[in-house]
A and B are shown apart, each in its own frame.
Chain A
Amino acid sequence: MNMPNLSAFLVGLIFGAGLLVSGMANPDKVLSFLDLAGAWDPSLALVMGGAIVVGSVAFAIAGKRERSLLAEPMRIPVRRDLDKPLVLGSLGFGVGWGLAGFCPGPALVALGAGEPGAVVFVISMLVGMALYELIEQSRTTANA
């Protein structure tokens, strides 16, 4: 395994551990956070807060670098325009998140934990992502 792949594996491991420690890997806890009108569990606001505090320092440093520590090119998004796919996609994502309590990362962790419901969710999510590829490919072919 080369260094970037080894690093990617370790980052995945740390990310997964963070989701487990924080409680985000548990859809029940996620839904308790999203349920403002019920008995509200504010914990997950602190997950995002903790992640952003650490992340902001890293991204401030990363923004000044031309290459990563492994001499890889820095692939940080540069787009700043707000478009329809961004907004409609995000609105749709929130509905799916609220229906099951799963977003992509926690679903992968719950899959690793052997939860049958997570298997169903992840397969459906992959089908949804493949659907996007098909729609976008047919659109580019139609325009070509």
Chain B
Amino acid sequence: MTIDWASFTPWSALAGGMLIGLAAALFVLVNGRIAGISGVVGGLLRPQPGDLSWRVAFVAGMIAAPLLWAAVATLPGIIIEASVPMLVVAGLLVGVSTRYAAGCTSGHGVCGISRLSPRSLVATVSFMATGFITVYIVRHVIGG
């Protein structure tokens, strides 16, 4: 393993992480809910009375974040290497899987680990493991 020190951004990573933690903190303390993105979005596809507007508001906030950012400063670079067919496969897989897993990086990885949920610990170890393995195969076995 070689560490890419030139790309290592510890302070912005830590600051951004704390902002994400703050969002999760506010959501559970103020709204009594888990800030898990796959759950928030997935619930939009199973509309129940009185359960829709807060989901729309949350997603609108997330989409508005880069728009407001761009109004006052330059957006950080977003580089997408994956081809369109790859994005379709990845999107489908992430959509179905996160619903069966009842959470993703935010719901399990941040909120679940913060409350020491055994389900979230298992979920996070599982998706990190296949994430590492998938990138290894794509970059070093197929692409290598």
A-B contact pairs, 22 of them (CB 8 A): A7-B30, A14-B19, A16-B65, A16-B66, A22-B20, A34-B131, A34-B134, A35-B136, A38-B2, A39-B7, A51-B110, A53-B18, A75-B32, A76-B28, A89-B102, A92-B97, A93-B101, A98-B130, A101-B81, A104-B98, A117-B84, A129-B38
Checking B27, B80, B126 against A90 with a beta-carbon cut-off of 8 angstroms, the contacting residue is B126
Q: Which residues on B sit within 8 Å (CB–CB) of A22?
A: 12-13, 15-17, 19-20
A144 at the interface (CB under 8 A from B): no
Cβ–Cβ < 8 Å partners of B89 in chain A: 96, 99, 124
Interface residues of A (CB under 8 A from B): 1-2, 4-29, 31-32, 34-59, 61-63, 65, 67-70, 72-77, 79-82, 85-105, 107-115, 117-118, 120-133
- Does A8 contact B58, Cβ atoms closer than 8 Å? yes
Chain A interface SS verdict (over half): helix
* Leading 6 A-B pairs by shortest Cβ distance: A128-B95, A12-B61, A22-B16, A16-B65, A124-B91, A50-B17
B104 to A: closest C-beta gap in Å: 5
Q: How far is the CB of A11 from chain B (nearest CB, A)?
A: 5
How far apart are the CA atoms of A25 and B76 in the complex, in Å?
9
Note all chain A residues with C-beta closer than 8 A to B3. Answer: 39-42
Q: Are B91 and A56 in contact (CB under 8 A)?
A: no
| Cross-chain contact of B119 among A48, A61, A86, A127 (Cβ < 8 A) | A86
